[in-house]
Amino acid sequence: MATIPDAFHGVLLAAVALALAEPARAQENAGSPLWAAESALARGELDRAVGLARDYTSHHRDDWRGWFLQGEATLRRGGASNLHAVEAIIAFRRATRLAPGRPEVWDGYGRAGIELGSSDGELIVHEAYEQVLALDPLYPRAFENWLKAYASRSDRRRVRRILARHDSLPEVRARIARLLIEDERYTDANVILDSLLALDHRDPEWLALRAQSALESGDTLGGAALYARALDHADRPSGEALWEQAVGIATPEEIRAWDAGVPREARSGFLRGFWARRNPDLFAGINRALAEHFRRLRYARKEFPDFYPLSSYKNRALTRALNAAPSLAEQIFWARCEARESPGGPVRASDRARLSPEMERLLANPEIWQSWRHPALPGELYLDPERVNIAALALPYAPDIQSLDTTAAATGYNLRTRLSDRGVTYLRFGAPRTRLIGAPNGADAFCQTRDLERWVYDDIGTVRFFVPGAVSVGAFGAAGMPSTDKIFRPMTERQSEAMDQVMTRDASSIPAPLSFRAWTAQFAGAESASTDVVVVTTRGAAAAQLVGVLGPAEAPRQDGAGIVTLHAAPGWYVLLADARVGETLGRHSLRLSVSALGARGGVSDLLAAPAWADTVVTRTAMLGHLQRDLTFVAGTTLRFYAEIYGLRPSADGAVRYRVAYQLYRSDNLVEDAQRRDLAGGVRIAFDRAKAAAGDRAVEWLDVAAGWLPPGGYLLRLEVEGADGAPLGRAQIGFEIR
């Protein structure tokens, strides 16, 4: 299967045409074999193009153009195995020897190396693109393709020397600075980046790299300021660099949105919203997620790089599908080394249900494992098929990465971040509470391997990593996995759920242990098409922010009394609400639909407070008396408040409507609030005639709660116009103690 994206087909064809159109050949006969092969390639007749190119090179073995065309056509045609990549490499390699000064032939050689994959492909990629960069440092995608292979410190140093030959070009100096940052030579990188910003202080890529250098080296305030400047200019062509820095912690939804094409003028808002949704402390004044991200990136890049970025497991959907499920050898390893914690010991109760009867028989009879052919070696066993039913050993449940969100599984974060699965996990969730290397059953010789690793997090559980090829069970359970680092390898339902969390979200390491609840009430705003969202925390000071689900954010707002009013247009948002008591922080977030209220009619949400003497009731007064935890002392008179919109005054200037209040006893307020109809309850109704307060009417009611026994209650308000047409409904839950 060809792996060259369709978007590049036109570019590649143009490159082929330019490569073949030397001045000395410009008047070449249109019927020549080379021209015919090029035409077939341009028309997408790949089999014909390959055949014509081969025929040409068999008669013109010293013409680099024929070999180049043969390699290009072979690579484009693709195939189910790697054979086409090998054939393309041979053709491109011949072209590089005949025309070593042509960057396009080295580029073809490098692209074929990427297609080949594995360690052999990486060697080709390094050689090819170092040659391209030496000949033309700005050759399209040459630097990006070089980055796809694993690069050690010495590799980066070698490429910096190559690029230094062309350091009169600002773009080249920026790449040198990037490589210096990866080597943690921040001072040297800053010298280069500062000189570039003196040339153009608005370039978003240079600002983003300068911000990264500052944040990785601990300059949080300076880095945040530089990053904010980069966001201001994200609409410029090099603004794509800002997404490259952030994609490692993006959700599948965010990746799909960006890849679908965020307009350049919307990039700044998209990225500001991206970081706002991850703000771990709305009280801090700056977004600490940014600094935490780059600190994690620095550590993960150093400790958990992707040593095998071009392995077929990570680059080929078919290979990943074939190797995604744990092999029999891995399943036996789990049953023997992890489901039981000592040789001959019991299997953990939580894992027993997963064992097949045949696997249980093996675990219960250690002598079956012994073999005169293979002494007990770490990760190696021999099972006698005459004594063991091999086919019956498979576990009934074997989760794999294929079951995850297809964006996370198919797109892959490894190539985008150049981090291994452990590196991606660290980037997204930080250091685990406990990092376990090796199997629990370490006394068993077969289990003594460091190729198993488990990271334990308090909020998501255990993430399991394993090197699949590390274990084998005779000829029956060999893993067959291509060379790879420790990869996600869940073996239980809970481990699968933890892997799913790692692949689809991220979390801050900044602690937020304060327990609290947050609730909201929506009202029409003062401006047209604007809604006021009142955010209430049940304890402590409050800070809140509304962020577009995939869009921009307004600035956070704080209030020491725990009640914050935000303003937003109707639509879907992520609501972030933090609470603070002393130095202890609490964090809460949820998706929130902001309703359209106001001139088009409707009813606001309800507020509840202990009644006070004044009967001039306004929203401001209600918020000043609000009972934040919605819990009242028995015998308290309660005051409920709502606003009604869209009423038309009659000739006397009054608005008329009908209200019905329904009070229900509830043992489960969350569940009952979702029900349209509830049995029992008390219902009271009123016909109202009131002076309108601008474009709205204020509706309030005092309820003497002395007759209410302790417990939970749900109050519903239904409003009809004077003509009987329904205007809306609101409800609020509260508790009497």
- pLDDT score recorded for residue 10: 45
725: CATH? 2.60.40.2550
- With respect to residue 719, please indicate whether it lies within any of the assigned structural domains: yes
| 555 lies in the same domain as 480 | no
- Do both 334 and 472 map to the same domain? yes
- At 401, the pLDDT band (50, 70, 90 cuts) reads low
For residue 33, the model assigns a pLDDT of 86
Same domain assignment for residues 474 and 539: no
pLDDT value at position 626? Answer: 97
Supply the pLDDT for residue 23.
44
What pLDDT digit, counting tens, does each position of 683-697 carry?
Answer: 999 999 988 777 789
Q: How far is residue 107's CA from residue 68's CA, in Å, rounded to a whole number?
A: 10
Contact 646, 555 (CB under 8 A): no
| Domain of residue 409, residue span | 304-509
Q: What is the pLDDT of residue 26?
A: 42
Pairing of strands 531-537, 518-524: antiparallel
Residues 360 and 460 reside in one and the same domain = yes
Please state, in angstroms and rounded to a whole number, the distance separating the CA atoms of residues 77 and 4: 10
Q: Give the CATH number, domain containing residue 45.
A: 1.25.40.10
Domain boundary among 569, 595, 621: 595
pLDDT of residue 332: 85
- Is residue 373 pLDDT above 90, yes or no? no
Domain identity same for 308 and 454: yes
Q: Tell me: pLDDT of 17 over 70.
A: no
Higher pLDDT residue, 371 or 584?
Answer: 584
728 within some domain: yes
Name the residue among 504, 546, 541, 498 with its Cα closest to residue 525: 546
Q: How many domains does the chain have?
A: 4
d(CA 525, CA 340): 62
Tell me: do 545 and 456 sit in the same domain: no
Structure tokens at 679: 């049995």
User: From CA 655, how far away is CA 721, in angstroms rounded?
Assistant: 9
Q: Can you give the pLDDT at residue 5?
A: 42
pLDDT, tens digit, for every residue of 52-88?
999 999 999 999 999 999 999 999 999 877 899 999 9
Q: What is the pTM of this model?
A: 0.88
Distance of CA 538 to the CA centre of its chain: 31
* CA quadruple 234, 237, 238, 244: dihedral sign: positive
Average pLDDT in the chain: 88
Using the predicted structure, report yes or no on whether residue 400 has a pLDDT greater than 70.
no
Strands 541-548 vs 557-559: parallel, antiparallel or unpaired:
antiparallel
The mean per-residue pLDDT over the stretch 533-562 comes to 95
Task: Tell me: do 438 and 566 sit in the same domain.
Answer: no
Is the pLDDT at 567 greater than 90, yes or no?
Answer: yes
Q: Which of 149, 183, 202 is the last residue of a domain?
A: 149
Q: Is residue 459 part of a domain?
A: yes
Q: Are residues 454 and 539 in the same domain?
A: no
Name residue 567's beta-bridge partners: 532
In 3D space, the residue among 717, 505, 694 whose CA is nearest the CA of residue 607 turns out to be 717
Give the up-direction half-sphere exposure of residue 146: CA atoms within 13 A in the CB hemisphere: 27
pLDDT confidence of residue 474 = 66
Residues 499 and 516 in one domain: no
Lowest mean per-residue pLDDT among 151-155, 371-375, 601-605: 371-375
- Residues across the chain: 737
Q: What is the pLDDT of residue 43?
A: 94
| 472-473 vs 380-381, strand pairing mode | parallel
Q: Would you say residue 236 has pLDDT above 80?
A: yes
Does 277 or 485 have the greater pLDDT score? Answer: 277
> Residue 148: pLDDT band by 50, 70, 90 thresholds?
very high
Q: Return the minimum-mean-pLDDT range out of 204-208, 362-366, 421-425, 611-615.
A: 362-366
Question: Residue 493: which pLDDT band, with cuts at 50, 70 and 90?
Answer: confident
Note whether residue 336 is domain-resident.
yes
* Listed residue (555, 573, 548, 552) closest to 266, CA to CA: 552
Q: Are 531 and 570 in contact (CB under 8 A)?
A: yes
Q: What is the mean pLDDT of residues 306-330?
A: 76
568 and 420, same structural domain?
no
Poorest-confidence range of 68-72, 135-139, 201-205, 611-615? 611-615
Q: What is the pLDDT of residue 304?
A: 96
Binned at pLDDT 50, 70 and 90, residue 369 comes out as low
Q: Contact, 159 vs 133, CB < 8 A?
A: yes
**Strand pairing category for 726-736 and 631-632:** parallel
DSSP code for 178: H
Give the pLDDT band (50/70/90) at residue 213.
Answer: very high
| pLDDT score of 9 more than 50 | no
pLDDT at 339: 86
Looking at the structure, tell me whether residues 484 and 521 fall in a common domain.
no
- Residue 448 banded pLDDT, cuts 50, 70, 90: confident
Query: Which domain-ending residue is among 595, 619, 637?
Result: 595
Same domain, 326 and 470: yes
Phi, psi of 361 (to 5 degrees): -65, -40
pLDDT band at 371 (very low <50, low <70, confident <90, very high): very low
Is residue 17 assigned to a domain? yes
Mean pLDDT of 349-356: 78
Q: What is the pLDDT of residues 668-681, one digit of tens each?
A: 999 999 998 888 89
- Work out the pLDDT band at 366, boundaries 50, 70, 90: low
CATH assignment at residue 577:
2.60.40.10
AA letter at 647: L
In angstroms, rounded to a whole number, what is the distance separating the alpha carbons of residues 528 and 81? 61
